[in-house]
Amino acid sequence: MNIDLIIVITDTGSLARLVSKYKPPVPILACSEKSVIIKQLQTTRGIWGFKIDSYQSADILISSCVKIAKEMHMVKSGQKVVCIHGHKEDTPDESDIMKIVDVE
């Protein structure tokens, strides 16, 4: 599928660490609203952290994370990104949504 980036939206960082465990051949952009989580993830293999302002609706959050990745020069137009996140408030790191997004 030629994926160029994995974006993980995480609250505790465990989902991003789980993805990193399998050593994907592409970088991982972990987005969280907690600064301490971003700092902790900087020491994990293949993960780049970014602090987001808040969790919004899923579509807005994904598009803003893709925009951030584009501004960080992690992806370019025409490339594909996998976005992984959950939507349950009581278990935020249990991922149940995965989307493949074309970067515009």
pLDDT at 31: 94
**The domain that contains 45 carries what CATH number?**
3.40.1380.20
Residue 84 counted as domain residue: no
Query: Quick count: other Cβ atoms within 10 Å of Cβ 44?
Result: 17
CA dist., res. 11 & res. 33, Å (int) = 7
pLDDT at 56: 73
pLDDT at 93: 53
Residue 99 counted as domain residue: no
| pLDDT averaged per 10 residues, the chain (length 104) | 92 91 96 94 94 82 93 96 76 71 94
pLDDT at 1: 75
pLDDT at 58: 79
**β-bridge pairing 80-85 and 97-102:** antiparallel
Residue 61 counted as domain residue: yes
Residue 22 counted as domain residue: no
pLDDT at 29: 97
